Structure formats: C-alpha cells, structure tokens
Amino acid sequence: MLVFGLLSLVFDYLTFAALLLLLHANSAQFRTGWFMESVISASMIVLVIRTRQSILTSKPGKYLLMATIAIVIVTLLIPYTPLAGLLGFQPLPIEFFLVLAAIVGLKGRQLMMIYIDLERNKNEINLSFHWGNIHTRNASLDVDY
C-alpha cells in the first residue's frame, strides 16, 4: 500500500496545481473540486483493488457497481443542491470537470497498471509510469496480502 500512497500523493499535488495554477480556482471552487476529485478517486480505487485481475477483465459485482455509480452521481450533484452552501461548495465551470476527469482517469490508469504489476511480481514492483520514459525498476518491497 506504500506504492498507492505515493501515487496518491503525486496526484494530490497534481490536483492542487491544476486547481490553483491552471484553473485559478477561488476558495469555494477549490474546495468543491478537491471534494469531487477525492470522493470519485476513492470510489475508483475500490473498483481497482477489489480483484487481483485487471478491472477490464474482471467486472465488479452488480451492487458494488451500482453503489459506486450512485456515489459519483451524488458527489457531482451536491454543488447544485442547498447542501452546497453549508459545505462551502459552488457549481463549477465545465473546464473544471474536464481537468478533474483527466486527473481521475490518469490516476485510475496508473493505479490499475501498478496493481497488475504488484500481482505479477508479488515482492517486486515496477514503479515506472506507464506513459513515459521515467523508470525506477524492481524496487523490492515486502507486501502483505
């Protein structure tokens, strides 16, 4: 789980940078975007780590999938409800959704690739990012299953 924590840290900083530097979010937009990315990412992580196979080859159970979809829908709707004012949220412009969707999608892809690597190699993991030339190969880890 150390690897997942490090990956989450990288994507947390990426989300911070995107919200503040790219989208120039005010505090309510930042809070809303951060909430959405965090909840949707956590839901996605459950789908990735629920099996020892790729999420593409092993479909989640009907109830898990329905619960995950419901969580995502509620998360996306909260900024448009009266609850938003209590939480300090506000509706986001479409650019925010596009950027946050790209971050969540990239994070999901990386999680899936790392999880598959963990399962293949058990105690050795390929920490390379699977889209570029940054490679740290075979970092030995003691992983409890």
Question: Would you say the pTM of this structure is higher than 0.85?
Answer: no
CB 35 within 8 A of CB 96: no
Q: What are the residues whose beta carbons fall under 8 Å from the beta carbon of 10, sequence distance 6 or more?
A: none
Please tell me the predicted confidence (pLDDT) of residue 123. Answer: 52
How many Å apart are CA 31 and CA 27, to the nearest integer? 6
Residue 66 has pLDDT above 70, yes or no: yes
CB 16 within 8 A of CB 73: no
Give the pLDDT confidence score for residue 145 in this predicted structure: 35
Residue type, 93: P
What lies within 8 Å, CB to CB, of 94 at 6+ separation is none
Contact 99, 92 (CB under 8 A): no
Quick check: 115 pLDDT over 70?
Answer: yes
